């Protein structure tokens, strides 16, 4: 596939433009370590330029009203639908994610855009009888103005295309910063945006942490939606506070428990443990992955055997092939990080029963591949039970004391997702209520259901997305009081 036709400059004010910094960054194919492209690397002057363009575009965009804005967004959605294979291939090459998962991501884009348009009609102010029957008190939702979205590498086009929509439909103009590792599909979207949206409404700034920090430190960008690691999230909150009081929402990491009760259907649970890891789409580089599995001791042997057999069948290889389940990790550094966690697990006394190494031959030997890994005999205090590895490493912990298991499931810095496997409704609901996590599945995993708010407790984030909550979060609430009684 020829990616040379992609524009690799910054997209500001409806035009492709060189970075004022004059710098570029290399984009590497993680499957074979080859250079795919050199892409503009923005600094604070580029961010300032993008801000001016977005600020200039704001009033006209807002004045259109959501119905007219939704026509532009509909056209954007159609263009993405028409280019489904092309966009999925770009992501598969750039991120190493299996093509089948990236094709599913395009379907999710279409659904989520439709959903945002649907919800826009439901975002409206209200009148409140606050000070007597004659007076009028009402609320209005108003856009912030220029907002920014900073996104990670694991679902590049899904995040680039969907995270700009809630702010846009509410009347904001947007600066989007894709991951330094996976900017290519966002740049492909830039071509569509150029043809569809008025100049300045969407601006795309490629770059690394320097560009991200410039967005955070810009005194006039008051609303930022960040998706990425908790560590970067902490830095962002500190930096932002130096520039002013900012409204920042965060979708961060997870170390999510999958809880298997003794009455669970072991085969179905084992199958979902793989889907729940993000195999078939992200090699375990998923914020919602069920990387800690609490299995009841009565079924632990059976569950582990099933999981191990299914894991053995996963196809590791070229992400562009439809049969591939596991592609490479995103970078050399990420691969080394995952391999070092595997060493840590072994040295802490966990039992490595599967994977844990780089493939010896074939395509897997060239890129940043790690075989899907299972540890048993994992205990709560081990680092592989506590820290987000963000790779193909599953830790199995056994339990027989329910309260102790719940305590351990919650005794962790994260609280993004959890899944519960039982036929017993009472156990399922009691457990769901006790878990400190924002998104819980019972007898299923991984799927984000349309319209339901996604986000985390504790260090997994601030705020909720993928729902009407996300649209409202891109608005300020204004109250207007009219005195008619005097």
- Which residues sit at the interface with ligand NAD, rule CB under 6 A? 150-154, 177, 179-180, 208-209, 212-213, 216, 227-229, 232, 235-236, 251-254, 287, 388, 390, 416, 456, 461
Based on CB atoms, which residue is closest to ligand NAD, 31 or 154? 154
Q: How far is the CB of 283 from ligand NAD (least distance, A)?
A: 12
CB atoms within 10 A of CB 308: 16
Q: Are strands 439-442 and 417-421 parallel, antiparallel or unpaired?
A: parallel
Sign for the pseudo-dihedral over CA of 92, 97, 100, 101: negative
d(CA 44, CA 160) in angstroms, rounded, equals: 21
Based on CB atoms, which residue is closest to ligand NAD, 30 or 254? 254
Catalytic residue among 15, 251, 302, 306: 251
Question: Active-site residue 475, yes or no?
Answer: no
Q: Kindly state the tokens that stand for 330.
A: 């995103």
Sign for the pseudo-dihedral over CA of 204, 205, 206, 212: negative
Based on CB atoms, which residue is closest to ligand NAD, 232 or 467? 232
How far from 247 is each of 24, 205, 463, 473, CA to CA, in Å? 31, 20, 10, 9
Based on CB atoms, which residue is closest to ligand NAD, 166 or 228? 228
Residue 168 near residue 175 (C-beta atoms within 8 A): no
Q: How far is the CB of 28 from ligand NAD (least distance, A)?
A: 14
d(CA 103, CA 123) in angstroms, rounded, equals: 31
Q: How far is the CB of 400 from ligand NAD (least distance, A)?
A: 30
| Residue recorded with tokens 């592989």 | 384
Sign for the pseudo-dihedral over CA of 238, 240, 245, 246: negative
The kind and range of the H/E element at 308 are: helix 300-312
Question: Active-site residue 287, yes or no?
Answer: yes
Closest CA to 358 of 345, 371, 348, 347: 371
Q: How far is the CB of 359 from ligand NAD (least distance, A)?
A: 23
Based on CB atoms, which residue is closest to ligand NAD, 282 or 422? 282
d(CA 195, CA 199) in angstroms, rounded, equals: 9
d(CA 398, CA 376) in angstroms, rounded, equals: 9
Based on CB atoms, which residue is closest to ligand NAD, 181 or 192? 181
Q: How far is the CB of 221 from ligand NAD (least distance, A)?
A: 12
Q: How far is the CB of 236 from ligand NAD (least distance, A)?
A: 5
Q: 52-69 burial, b for 16+ CB within 10 Å, e for fewer?
A: bbbeebbeebbeeebeeb
Based on CB atoms, which residue is closest to ligand NAD, 305 or 447? 447
Q: How far is the CB of 181 from ligand NAD (least distance, A)?
A: 7
Catalytic residue among 4, 75, 129, 287: 287
d(CA 179, CA 109) in angstroms, rounded, equals: 18
Residue nearest to ligand NAD (CB): 212
| Residue recorded with tokens 């809880």 | 259
Q: How far is the CB of 427 from ligand NAD (least distance, A)?
A: 27
Residue 312 near residue 301 (C-beta atoms within 8 A): no
Q: How far is the CB of 135 from ligand NAD (least distance, A)?
A: 43
Closest CA to 291 of 377, 420, 387: 387
Q: 16-29 burial, b for 16+ CB within 10 Å, e for fewer?
A: beebbbebbbebbb
Based on CB atoms, which residue is closest to ligand NAD, 228 or 328? 228
Ranges assigned E (strand) in 434-474: 439-442, 457-458, 461-462
Number of residues written out for the chain: 486
Positions annotated as catalytic residues are: 251, 287
């Amino acid at each position: 596939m020829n990616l040379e036709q992609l524009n690799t400059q910054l997209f500001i004010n409806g035009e492709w433009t060189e970075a004022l910094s004059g710098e570029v960054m290399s984009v590497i194919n993680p499957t074979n370590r080859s250079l795919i492209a050199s892409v503009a690397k923005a600094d604070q002057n580029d961010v300032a330029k993008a801000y001016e363009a977005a600020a200039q575009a704001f009033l006209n965009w807002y004045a259109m009203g959501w119905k007219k804005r939704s026509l532009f967004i509909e056209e954007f959605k159609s263009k993405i639908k028409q280019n489904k294979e092309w966009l999925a291939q770009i992501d598969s090459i750039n991120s190493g994610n299996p093509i089948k998962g990236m094709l599913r991501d395009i379907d999710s884009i279409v659904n989520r855009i439709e959903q945002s348009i649907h919800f826009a009609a439901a975002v409206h102010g209200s009148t409140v009888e606050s000070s007597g029957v004659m007076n009028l008190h009402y609320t209005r939702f108003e856009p912030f103005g220029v907002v920014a979205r900073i996104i990670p590498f694991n679902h590049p086009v899904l995040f680039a295309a969907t995270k700009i929509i809630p702010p846009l439909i509410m009347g904001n103009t947007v600066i989007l910063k894709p991951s330094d590792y996976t900017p290519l599909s966002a740049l492909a979207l830039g071509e569509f945006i150029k043809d569809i949206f008025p100049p300045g409404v969407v601006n795309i700034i490629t770059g690394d942490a320097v560009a991200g920090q410039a967005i955070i430190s810009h005194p006039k960008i008051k609303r930022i939606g960040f998706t990425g690691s908790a560590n970067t999230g902490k830095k962002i909150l500190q930096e932002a506070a130096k520039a002013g009081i900012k409204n920042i929402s965060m979708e961060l990491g997870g170390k999510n428990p999958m809880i298997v009760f003794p009455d669970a259907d072991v085969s179905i649970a084992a199958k979902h443990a793989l889907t729940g890891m993000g195999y078939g789409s992200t090699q375990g580089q998923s914020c919602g992955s069920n990387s800690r599995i609490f299995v009841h001791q009565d079924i632990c042997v059976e569950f582990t055997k099933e999981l191990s057999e299914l894991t053995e069948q996963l196809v590791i290889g070229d992400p562009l092939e439809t049969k591939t389940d596991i592609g490479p990790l995103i970078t050399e550094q990420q691969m080394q990080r995952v391999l070092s966690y595997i060493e840590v697990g072994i040295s802490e006394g966990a039992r490595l029963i599967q994977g844990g190494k780089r493939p010896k031959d074939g395509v897997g030997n060239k890129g940043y591949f790690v075989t899907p890994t299972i540890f048993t005999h994992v205990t709560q205090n081990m680092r592989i039970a506590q820290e987000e590895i963000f790779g193909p490493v599953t830790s199995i912990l056994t339990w027989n004391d329910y309260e102790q298991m719940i305590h351990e499931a919650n005794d962790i810095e994260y609280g993004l997702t959890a899944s519960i496997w039982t036929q017993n409704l009472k156990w399922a609901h009691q457990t769901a209520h006790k878990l400190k996590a924002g998104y819980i599945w019972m007898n299923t995993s991984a799927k984000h259901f349309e319209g339901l708010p996604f986000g985390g407790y504790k260090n997994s984030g601030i705020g909720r997305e993928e729902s009407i909550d996300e649209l409202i979060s891109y608005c300020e609430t204004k109250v207007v009081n009219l005195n008619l009684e005097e």
